[in-house]
Amino acid sequence: MARVRRLAAGRAGHGGTLDPDAAGVLPVAIGQSLALLGRIDWSPKTYAAVARFGALTDTLDAAGAIVARSAPPWPGRADLERSAPFLVGAGLQLPPQRSAIRQHGERAHRRARRGENFFLAPRPVVVHSLTVTDADGALFRFVAEVSSGTYVRALVRDWAQMLGQAASLVALIRTRAGPFGIEEAVTLEELQEDGIEQALRSWQAVWSGPRLELAAAEVAGVLRGRFPSGLEPENGVLTALTREGRLYALTDGPQRFVRVFPEGLS
């Protein structure tokens, strides 16, 4: 993100962290569009993953120290496919302590690195689908489509435990985040070569909520903080106020602005 901020010559943020050793799609916003990041659900997210039976680490991936071991025979593809449906659906997941979750104002991974003992409460997650793509000895590969906030590392831990094994994540690629797939992603090197403007997408690419069209005369009033008379957005529902494809404000009820965009978002 530091490199993106330098290229953007200003503020930049992202729509969901990636583990340090993971790769793939990371939605990025700059300037005024940062206000949308926390108001968009980037679900579902899709991951291609590789895991290995035989050892569980304290980070749940290959970077950590081994805390438990298991021995062959390793579960085969049929075992994985039979057990996968039990992990699909809504449920609670115990997140890894080496994670970006904030607890008492501090990232959990920082407390874990200091050797502190603490507990992270289980979090609600949804596993939309879990598809085994290969199994060869201790290694197995799968594709998971999950809700935001789901840790694939923890999914591997739970899956292995279900099969009476220890396992850790070996490799992870996020292939989709909400509307963005890896086929349309750009690398940092491409951003540096072509410029960040070439990679920007319209706010409409990520917006799936309701929108109300403003009259030309109403835009000026909105930019001065005046709510248009007669406009009745649904109470409690985030709604975009637009004019000819530009986003000028977000509202969540009558006479109430959540955010106004002085220059409008294209």
Smallest CA-to-CA distance from 68 within 54, 88, 85, 52 is with 54
In angstroms, the CA 96 to CA 109 distance is 9
**Are the C-beta atoms of residues 175 and 142 closer than 8 Å to each other?**
no
CB 239 within 8 A of CB 233: yes
Q: Does 58 qualify as catalytic in the annotation?
A: no
C-beta atoms surrounding 233 within 10 Å = 21
Structure token digits, residue 62: 């290959």
Closest CA to 51 of 175, 176, 153: 153
3-state class of 186 per DSSP?
Answer: coil
Catalytic residue among 19, 58, 158, 252: 19
Instruction: Tell me phi and psi for residue 122, to 5 degrees.
Output: -55, 145
| Token pair recorded at residue 4 | 């993106």
> Which residues are registered as beta bridge partners of 213?
242
In single-letter form, the type of residue at position 208 comes to S
Q: Which two tokens mark 202?
A: 């319209």
- 86, two tokens: 């039990």
Q: Catalytic residue positions? A: 19
